[in-house]
Structures are given as C-alpha cells and as structure tokens.
Amino acid sequence: MLMRQSRPVRFGLDFGTSNTSVAVWDGEHSTVLPIDPLAGAAMPTVLYVRRDGSSLVGRPAIEAYLSDNRQRGPVTREFKPLGIRLESSNPRQKTVEAMIYTDTSSPGRLFQALKTFLGDPLDVSTNVFGEARGLEDLIAVVLAHVRERVHELVGEMPAEITIGRPVEYVGGAAAEARAVTRMRRAAELAGFGEVRFAFEPVGAAHAAEVAPGLTLVFDFGGGTLDLAVVRRESVGALEVLATAGRNIGGDRCTERLIDDVVAPQLGSRATWGPKRLRLPAFIVNALHDWHALSALNEKPLLEALDDLVRQGAPKRELAALRSAIELQLGYEIFMTADATKCALSSAPAAILSYHHAAVDVDARLTRGRFERLIETLLTETDALLTDVLVRATVSSTDIAEVVTTGGSSAIPAFRALLARRFPNARVRDAATFTSVASGLAMPGVEEAALAR
C-alpha cells in the first residue's frame, strides 16, 4: 500500500510491553499497518539478535529463536571476562576483573518486555556477543526495523513520530523522567528526527471518536492497564481530566492459568520423601515464563532433575518438566494457555489440551474457576477505577460511556466489573489491538494529553 504524497502524513507508534503497532494518518483517515509479516498489525515486541550480529523482530524473531535452540541440546556456560575492572569489596584489593557466567555457544539472544525496564534506576549495558548494548540501543533496533517496514508499506520513511506512553511506567512516578528520556533516545537512534509523546488511553479515545460528555477509556493490554477520564463538549477537542495506570495485564491472567493447570503437571506442587521436599522456587517461578523456562536448559540442572527422581521425586512430572525445558516448549505452552483464556471469554468452559513429548495436559476449565484465579487482579482493577475517578473529581454515575481496548478487555469478569461500576454508561469496544496506534497518528492527540 502506497500513500498519496500530496496529503499530510503523520505516524503513531504504540510500543507495548507485549505488542507493537503503527498507524499512518493520510489527512483523512488513520490506517493501522501490517508491520509484522507473520502476525500482521499487532507485532510481538520481541527482539532476537544472532551471534553474527543480524537481528529479527516480532513473530519472525520468536520463530527463529525457537528454531535455533530446539536442536542444540543443553546449554554450556563458562566464565568470560567482560574487559572491565570494578571496585572490590576487599579493601586490600583496589579493583577486580569483571566476569560473566555466560552461554558460550548460544546462537542468539532474545529480548522481550523491553518497555518494562525503561524506568529502571540502573543504567547498565548488556553484553551481546562482545558488544555492549544499553536498553536504548536494543529498543532502537526494534524501532529501526519498524521504521523500515513502514517505509516498505507506505513509500515514505517516517521522520516524525508520536509515541504512546503508559499513564504510569513500571517503577511509578520516580521512573517517569528516566523512561521518557530513554524512549526518546531510542527513537532518535532509530532515525526519527522529531519525537512526540501522548498517553496511550488518550490515543484510544481519539481513535474511538468518543461521544460528547464524560468517557472512561479502559486500555487493558498484555502488560499494563491504563485508564483515562476524558470530556468532549458537543464541539471541540478532548479534555483529559485524569489518568491512572498499573502493571495489571492480560499476561498475568495467563500466568495464573498456567500456574493452576499446567505447572502441577510439571511438578510445581509435587512433594517427596519424609521431609516433603519440593522443586526449588526458581524453577517453579519459571514455569509460567516461557523465556525463563528456556533459560533453564543447562546440563547441571537437567542432571539435578534426574538426581531428584532417583531420590524419590515423581518420575512422570519431572520427565514432563525435562521435556519442556530441553525441547523449548515454554512458548507453545504459554500460547496454548493464552488461547484457552481467550476461549473462556466467549464460552462458559474450555479445554486446555497440550501434548508434546512427555508433557501431557488435558484440563477442563470453567469461567468461574478462571475468575477465582484472577480475583486479586479484579480487586486491583476496581481500586484503580476508584483512583482515576477521584483524580478526575467525578462520580461513576457521571460517566456516560466506557470505551474498551486491548485484548484483555474482552475478559467477561472485567466487563462485568465495568458494568457494575458504571451503571449509566454505554460500554463499547474500540479496535482490540490497534486503536491506540490509530489514535496516536491523528492530529490533536498531543494537545489533548496536555489538557490534564
């Protein structure tokens, strides 16, 4: 698709924890672009850097990472010097050679959820096959890929960009300046000359063309929940009365489901011996995190699992755990659980079925059981709704419309919460995964964000 160059062009970027999307405004319409050749408009925010320095982003990055690692066998780690010296804790020794315990034969490095580190107080680089790369450098690689893809699709290399930002970065208010500065720097490194920011839920409000009166925007993605109370007069721009956000995301819902249904089949609740021994916490905690589970593929750990079986640990469950680790099954397991979660949004019950090597899971889940698993997330969401209303100095009965966006907003328990909290409001959906990017590309979105 090529744009007509005579029209004013604006670009909006929703760089999300889980997915990234881009939209272009051609002077009349905002169009979301299929930036991922496999996934389409919602590109997984994943970067894979191979040992030769080449990089992939999105779904192709995930596929390449799994393909490269599936046949390599257990990881071998060695201590390698970083080439720098650090202060020693020993007062008699001024400096020590910095070492890293690293996977020396890794075909590549996978990076995900980069957005969550934007506000981190630590400003350190990571060693990527001998090259020190900071967070801004890694995000810039993703953004540069996206920029090139936009060029392919519209025939114009974006020079300016409006980037969405959460209401609150991970790390809270203290992380604000660090996060915005790092994101701006990453965009500049990727080639964007002018970088603007607007709140993500405000972008969604623009895309949804909210009705006159008071509207609550409920932007519930994979990593965060962002809220905004906006007012639109019969004629005029949006006025943002209040915003609020928290790291309540749909991925946390999926993780609860894995913990309850899949993880026990991998030994998370198993006990053995007179002392009622259990798997170490770091293994159990990795079961719902597919990347962390992949990182356990080390020969000493796999041998330790075999030792546990000889000491009385349940053979079936630990064989399944070994398969999940060795065969890099974590991503498939996560996606199967995520699909089951989505199925429960339209059906009262669903079957989670996954069979690969020694991993055998068949479980029937009801919506009621799932809602009990996410009960604490519902409580957190309820509190956040109260918070944004207090900040806006309005009551729930004043809200005339609730606009939902983000894949997780389809979960019935959260929709029921919205209906209960806002009895006078009409609840309607914006584009599930792409409304934020669409609104960010539209004129006026930055001005609305400044009207807080």
For strands 55-57 and 19-25, give the pairing.
unpaired
pLDDT tens digits along 128-162 = 887 889 999 999 999 999 999 999 999 999 999 99
What's residue 388's pLDDT?
96
Residues of the chain with pLDDT under 70: 1-8, 72-90, 92-93, 96-104, 170, 234-236, 431-434, 446-452
- pTM listed for this prediction: 0.79
Domains annotated for the chain, with CATH where assigned, are 10-72+107-192 (3.30.420.40), 210-430 (3.30.420.40)
Q: How confident is the model at residue 6, as a pLDDT?
A: 47
Residue 450: per-residue pLDDT: 45
Residue 445 confidence (pLDDT): 74
Q: What is the pLDDT of residue 82?
A: 54
